Amino acid sequence: MSYHSRVYRQRNTHVHDDVKPQPFFSNQQINSVQRLATADIQRDPVPANLKLPCKWGDYFFEEYKIAGIRILIGMAEADRKSIAPVKEIAARIEADNKAIPLEAFKVKTCIISPNTTRFALFKGEPTLMIDPADANLPSLSHEMGHAVFHYLSHNRNATINKSTKSEDWILNLTDIFLQLRGITLKKDKDAEITANQIVDPTEWSPGGRAEHPTDVDEFFASAKEAFQTDKKALESTFEKYGKQDKKVTELGNRLMALLSFLFMNNKLTLKKTLATGKEKLNEQLDNLVEPSKVEDTMGAHALTAKLVDPDDRKNCKPSAMP
């Protein structure tokens, strides 16, 4: 079964559908993806000529190509200035793609339009779907975390930074997550949290919007977001909760070491004997699901459909950039 024809279930942390779930670490999937990585790749989820920019009523459609990243924007013209600068968006994606050495797994398309914010596959190609309200660098960092995890999890025999096997890195991350999830901490006099929630923006960023680091994939995406947005704040939050349980500090240090190795190529020494048994580690990983397919939900997002299909917006008037 080819990578492009395989059925993917939507991530249950973003949206739901009725497609039967497939194990995240299916051997069939891994072998298929690895075969694709050695073949010629045709990246064409979106037509080459979108006939942009153009204006359709109160909405404006535009396209940018920066450093090999294609950024498509379709949103209310009045709100256009609310999103992050396009060059910064491209720079974030380009930087994170360096942690994804295989071309088949790199994110080359980012679509900003009213939609469900998520990392997804568009006709088989890794794509960021970003709602305009989430078109900021922390959210982009989070979704690129899913892209990086997608690569690592499907290439377990690959080597990270010429020294560490992907599978060993992922098992260490999962061990940290499961241990943190088993620790209950007092948030304030009336509330408690489990320690995996430390990476949530509500803990390290005043006024941050709650996420859901409840599985290892989401935990990694939130941890990456915190690491790249405010590393010192994340470290301080682990230190604060470490006063209640010193194990939190130890696990926080291990997490920071994993992230520093992956994104900064710092030296890393992995634990060879993990506290969590192999069966529980694999259970957590096997329960993860594949990214959603953009085309499966296109009917619910009319503006996105018009953005990627010039035949669907024949009345869109050519216009200069806003």
Q: What is the pLDDT of residues 195-210, one digit of tens each?
A: 999 999 999 999 999 9
Domain containing 41 equals 27-155+290-318
Same-domain check for residues 203 and 273: yes
Same-domain check for residues 139 and 258: no
pLDDT of residue 16: 34
pLDDT of residue 198: 99
The answer to whether residue 265 is domain-embedded is: yes
- Comparing CA positions, the residue from 113, 195, 107, 198 lying closest to residue 146 is 107
**With contact defined as beta carbons under 8 Å apart, do 126 and 41 qualify?**
no
Same-domain check for residues 235 and 88: no
What's the rounded Cα separation, in Å, for the pair 310 and 306? 7
Segments in the chain below pLDDT 70: 1-44, 322
The answer to whether residue 81 is domain-embedded is: yes
**Which stretch of DSSP H or E encloses residue 194?**
strand 191-194
List of residues 6+ apart from 306 with CB closer than 8 A: 56, 61, 74, 312, 313, 316
What's the rounded Cα separation, in Å, for the pair 48 and 65? 11
pLDDT of residue 303: 95
pLDDT of residue 272: 86
- Count of structural domains, the chain: 2
What's the rounded Cα separation, in Å, for the pair 93 and 111? 12
List of residues 6+ apart from 18 with CB closer than 8 A: none
Amino acid at 280: K
pTM (predicted TM-score): 0.87
Between CA 174 and CA 183, with CA 177 as vertex, the angle to 5 degrees is 145
pLDDT of residue 210: 96
Beta-bridge partner residues of 293: 121
Same-domain check for residues 183 and 262: yes
